[in-house]
Amino acid sequence: MVTISAGVAVLESDEARCVANPSAELIRLADAALYEAKNAGRDTVRTRSIQFSILR
């Protein structure tokens, strides 16, 4: 039997402009999502994205 756990990260273009190193942040988010999926059990997918609060 083969199972897959996956971590998926999304970084929108508007969000990428607010991050110093978008590539590193995307990898960090995907890695965190992957370990969350692995801890949740077999055949799971977890996602991460950057959440920004805009204060006016």
Taking the mean position of all CA atoms in its chain, how far away is CA 29?
3
Domain annotation covers residue 54: no
**Entry pTM:** 0.74
Domain annotation covers residue 41: yes
What domain count does the chain have? 1
CA atoms within 13 A on the CB side of 8: 8
Q: What is the pLDDT at residue 56?
A: 41
Where in the sequence is the domain holding 30, given as residue range(s)?
6-49
d(CA 33, CA 11): 13
Domain annotation covers residue 24: yes
Domain annotation covers residue 56: no
- Quote the Cα angle for 46-28-18, to 5°: 105
Q: What is the mean pLDDT of the chain?
A: 82
Strand 45-49 with 6-10, pairing: parallel
